[in-house]
Chains A and B, each alone.
Chain A
Amino acid sequence: MGRLPTMNESERDRRWMGGVAEGDSAALAALYDHYADLLYSLALRIVGSASDAEEVLQDTWMQVWRSARSYDAARGAVGAWLVTIARTRALDRLRSLGSRRRAETAASTEAVAEPPPPAPDPATGYARRVLRKDVASALTALAPQQRQVVEMAYFEGFSQTEIAARLNAPLGTVKSWTRQALAKLRERVPLEALP
């Protein structure tokens, strides 16, 4: 899991992004060291294979390098921007692979991927455990259908119409499950803990 950003860390992330926008490769390396594990894990969950996730990770950072100037701090945190890019690239990759089955077998990727990264220090390790617990409990608090619709949309890129058809549920119901799920997830994890 990434880290537990404090206000200072958010500022530091923005400074790094400013450096990247100016063409500073050291700033990109610093951002990379901080976020690569999180982005890779997300990509792996979406594309389902370590080699594809690796390509997505590389593409993601190239896009960060090329479009750093389009990052607008007023529209959200650096981490959220990076996550959005990685997810978009991973879904693009998934579509180009022409199969969504890969994502459905994503659970099996744990066996082929490297183990979770160790925490660099005890305080960060503790913060990560707390955050992971919050995130896990937020997910288990969702009704099964709520969880299913947001996961199908977020990790597999299905539209709400496609989800309604697959689950044989009315579109309006899928829409309200989606919104309720996102709101509940957000409620249960403190905002300052999110990247």
Chain B
Amino acid sequence: MSGHRDEHLDLCAAHVLGVLGDAERRELESHLAEGCPQCEAELRTLSGGATVLAMSVPQHRAPAAVRGRVLAAIEAEGASPAVEPVPRDARVMPLPHRRSAATWAWAAAAALLVVAGGVLWQRAQSLSRQLAEERASAEELRRALDEERRWAGLGAAPTARVVRLSPTPQGDRALAAQVLYDPASGRAVVVAERFVPPGTQAYELWAITAAGPTSLGLVRADASGRAVVRLENVSRGGEVAAFAVSLESAGGSPDPHRPSGPVVMLGKLAG
């Protein structure tokens, strides 16, 4: 806790590799909070080393299908949860009208056959591509639906709990939020009301475990102050004892394990 020791440099190395134990992490964090230019410089240097490791792996091309799935999933997530009932692969694809070869002069028939063969081949290729794209779209939609069902099932999970958050004395009395949390799957859905932060500030959600708080990210509300946030891996820091909301400057707390602004809401898990 007091001045810099060489052991802190070892902790910096474990930190950039993400292998610090809880006690060590707390020690390094409290040391850094006191301000240590040597450790800050060490962290910058060693982070570069970790990135070199990431780049040292044999290079492969990402499977092409993932891109479409990701883009479909974020479109589904960004839009209304209601899913269009007619799947995209059920759309009727109008086929282009084909001109009858009989209308052409016999004299041109031989040449035409060659050209038509090429055209038909190209059309077949184009239709195959369209079919492949439609199939990929259907697959994307199926995954999006599966994802929706997975989340819809959260409320029915036997281990799911509802945690109501109450405003603290530092918080606006109008704030309302509850968390549907399933410790078994580590998933949670947060529903927040009247989350309109003053000025450029932002509300940040925290999971509190025996090891301390872990940021679950900023709560982005719509113009009416309502937000519905889905979270995964909520219990990665250990068993969650409570959820909290802090009021932070824009961008959130610089420390993912400590709110920098006042805690404005708190809700403990019963029992």
Contact = CB atoms under 8 A, between A and B. Distances in A.
Interface of A: 1-2, 23, 25, 28-29, 32-33, 36-42, 44-45, 50, 54, 57-58, 61-63, 65-67, 69-70, 72, 74-76, 79-80, 83-84, 87-88, 91-92, 110, 113-117, 131-132, 135-136, 138-139, 150-151, 153-155, 157-161, 175-176, 178-179, 181-186, 188-189, 191, 194-195
B66 A58 contact: yes
5 contacts: A23-B78, A40-B63, A70-B215, A155-B53, A188-B52
B59 interface: yes
Given A88-B18, A92-B233, A186 B57 contact: no
A142 to B, nearest CB: 10
B77 interface: yes
A159 B21 CA distance: 8
Contacts of B254: 72, 74-75
B69 to A, nearest CB: 6
Interface of B: 9-10, 12-14, 16-19, 21, 45-63, 65-67, 69-71, 73-75, 77-78, 202, 215, 217-218, 220, 230, 232-233, 236, 251-252, 254, 256
Given A62-B73, A158-B19, A185-B49, A70 B217 contact: yes
A87 B60 contact: no
B48 A176 contact: no
Contacts of A176: 10
Contacts, number: 192
Contacts of A45: 57-58
B233 A186 contact: no
Contacts of B215: 70
Given A159-B19, A159-B21, A160-B19, A117 B59 contact: yes
* Secondary structure type dominating chain B contacts: helix
B57 A80 contact: no
A72 B251 contact: yes
A160 to B, nearest CB: 6
Nearest to B75: A25
B43 to A, nearest CB: 10
Contact of A39 (B21, B45, B62): B62
Nearest to A189: B52
Max chain A Cβ within 10 angstroms of own Cβ: one of B55, B73, B215: B55
A100 to B, nearest CB: 14
Contacts of B77: 62, 65-66
Contacts of A195: 51, 55
A76 B50 CA distance: 13
Contacts of A151: 53
A66 B217 contact: yes
A138 B52 contact: yes
A113 to B, nearest CB: 4
Contacts of A117: 59-61
Given A28-B74, A65-B74, A186 B52 contact: yes
A192 B59 CA distance: 20
Contacts of A62: 70, 73-74, 77
Max chain B Cβ within 10 angstroms of own Cβ: one of A79, A135, A179: A179
Nearest to A77: B51
Max chain A Cβ within 10 angstroms of own Cβ: one of B12, B52, B58, B75: B52
A41 B217 contact: no
B59 A37 contact: yes
Given A39-B62, A40-B63, 11 more contacts: A28-B74, A36-B66, A40-B61, A41-B57, A42-B57, A50-B63, A61-B70, A70-B217, A139-B56, A150-B49, A185-B52
B19 A116 contact: no
Contact of B61 (A28, A115, A178, A184): A115
A36 B62 contact: yes
Contact of B45 (A33, A38, A57, A186): A186
A60 B90 CA distance: 31
